[in-house]
């Protein structure tokens, strides 16, 4: 009787303490990891808008980043498809079609493979997939050099930065 009346509140307090500690520790984890990437702000805001689960570690963080690239690349592919439907001039349409062909394998295969590889602890392969994705994105961007101004410059640039952040995190996993 005495025991339960003491134990229960203590237990509840313990849970509250643990919960708040975990939150602070996640904040620290995010800060520590993002400082080791080339774009702190992008890293920080991405990780803060995707709540980490309490047991998050470097691998969990890498998964969040790569899934975020996947979401953003998927969004960019549908943006490209919308632009194509607006029948821009011939030159622009050709470049956009080329870019759609670059983004389709990234969204369908390359990034999902990177996610699987991280889940399986195959960080070297994950790193390879990610750098393959960024190669495709820069080939797409190079199609606009010359007279046509790239309507994808901001989006391609953002995907490249996300990839740079993810690569830095995967390098930490490879070292660990
Ligand atoms: C990290 O992001 C959070 C949420 O957007 C923000 O409140 C915090 O100030 C950022 N940290 C730094 C050091 O910029
Ligand atoms: C992808 O990034 C662009 C910024 O370049 C942003 O406008 C867009 O909303 C993002 N999409 C997703 C799904 O995160």
List all residues whose CB is within 6 A of at least one atom of ligand 1. 44-45, 48
pLDDT tens digits, 16-50: 444 444 555 667 888 999 999 999 999 999 999 88
Q: Please tell me whether residue 90 adopts helix, strand or coil conformation.
A: helix
Other CB atoms closer than 10 Å to residue 143's CB: what's the count? 19
Average pLDDT over residues 84-109: 93
Q: What pTM does this model have?
A: 0.83
For ligand 2, which residues put their CB under 6 angstroms from it? 71-72, 75, 154-155, 158
Confidence (pLDDT) at 18:
45
Give domain limits for the chain.
7-175
Task: Report the top-level CATH class of 7-175.
Answer: mainly alpha
Ligand 2, closest atom to CA 71? 13
Over the stretch 114-172, which tens digit does the pLDDT of each residue have?
999 999 999 999 999 999 999 999 999 999 977 678 999 999 999 999 999 999 999 99
């Amino acid at each position: 009787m005495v025991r339960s009346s003491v134990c229960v509140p203590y237990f509840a307090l313990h849970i509250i303490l643990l919960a708040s500690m975990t939150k602070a520790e996640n904040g620290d984890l995010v800060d520590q990891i993002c400082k080791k990437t080339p774009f702190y702000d992008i890293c920080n805001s991405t990780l803060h808008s995707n709540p980490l689960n309490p047991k998050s570690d470097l691998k969990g963080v890498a998964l969040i980043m790569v899934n975020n690239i996947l979401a953003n690349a998927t969004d960019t592919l549908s943006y490209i498809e919308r632009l194509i439907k607006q029948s821009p001039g011939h030159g622009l349409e050709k470049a956009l079609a080329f870019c759609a062909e670059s983004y389709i394998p990234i969204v369908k295969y390359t990034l999902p493979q990177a996610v699987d590889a991280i889940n399986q602890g195959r960080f070297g392969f994950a790193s390879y997939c990610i750098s393959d994705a960024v190669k495709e994105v820069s080939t797409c961007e190079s199609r606009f050099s010359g007279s046509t101004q790239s309507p994808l410059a901001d989006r391609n640039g953002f995907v490249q930065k996300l990839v740079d952040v993810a690569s830095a995190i995967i390098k930490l996993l490879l070292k660990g």
